Amino acid sequence: MKVLLLSLACLGAPANAGAAPAEPSFLYQPSYGLDDRLRLPAEPYVPQPGDLFLATAQERWARVGHWLAGAASPHHSGVLFRRPDGRLGLVEAGPFNSLRVEVMDPLAHMRNHVGAGDCVWVRRRRVPLTEEQSARLTAFAERQEGKSFAWLRLAGQVTPLRSRGPLRTYVVGKPHGERSSFFCSELVLEGCVAAGLLDPEKTRPAATYPRDLFFDRSPNPFLDHNLDLSCWQPPRRWTECPVQLTPEGR
């Protein structure tokens, strides 16, 4: 089946689509596959607090570093939250290899990744956050903006002292809440714990990688038995432009 990507005229959803986003934004069908396939049909995506963002990276050093740590792809992760002024933000530690925790516009950040040649996925919340959960996530995310990227702790993941060891994870890597620095998936899970979305006794932020957030599975025994992301949909590829069937594919 052949498909044509509408790269010249990215049209949004029809006017009667109700909650369609003002900016073009589409998700494809859920899949745990890391391949480059866009699984039709595409559906308009309206970001919401609690959604998880995942993306690949092109830099060879980042790919090699993740591979050495047993992380592989994807390489970036973040979580969406509602800012105090009502706008949505995406908080991520070290976006595009910066050394800070930053808050960005979600769709603009996703476009930047796709423009750089990366693949982007979203794990949507199955049930929207309650007002209390959303407020707690907002408060946490706002307090972390500007903090340092935990490059030293991340580098430690390729050493025997890492918090991800098959036995060490049972006692090391538990939630710390407020830290002076974070790496990306650690920040996501600390935020989810702070918002009451994940059980702190079963969550190991400092031992979890974006790949674990993608697959709901992990080679780490503790994470494989305890990480529960059932309140999120499986990953769905994101693009700014919808895919349509060519006449040959109808």
pLDDT at 250 (0 to 100): 40
Q: List CB contacts of 156: < 8 A, sequence separation 6 or more.
A: 162, 163
Q: At what angle do helices 184-194 and 131-144 cross, to 10 degrees?
A: 140
pLDDT at 18 (0 to 100): 38
- Is the pTM higher than 0.95? The answer reads no
Residue 11 in this model has a pLDDT that exceeds 70: no
- pLDDT tens, residue by residue, 190-247: 999 999 999 999 999 999 999 999 999 999 999 999 999 999 999 999 999 887 644 4
For 100, 125, 139, 158, 188, the CA distances from 51, given in Å and listed in that order, are: 21, 6, 16, 29, 10
pLDDT at 157 (0 to 100): 73
Q: At CA 36, angle to CA 50 and CA 151, rounded to 5?
A: 55
Distance CA(196)–CA(194), nearest Å, equals 6
Q: State the average pLDDT over residues 165-170.
A: 88
Which is higher by pLDDT, 170 or 152? 170
Peptide bond into 74 cis (omega under 30): yes
**CB 25 within 8 Å of CB 94:** no
Give the whole-number percent of the chain exceeding pLDDT 90.
Answer: 70
Q: Can you spell out the DSSP letters for 148-200? A: EE-HHHHHGGGSTT-TTSTTGGGTSS---SS-SEE-HHHHHHHHHHHTTSS-G
Sign of CA dihedral 137, 92, 102, 236: negative
pLDDT at 56 (0 to 100): 94
Residue 179 in this model has a pLDDT that exceeds 90: yes
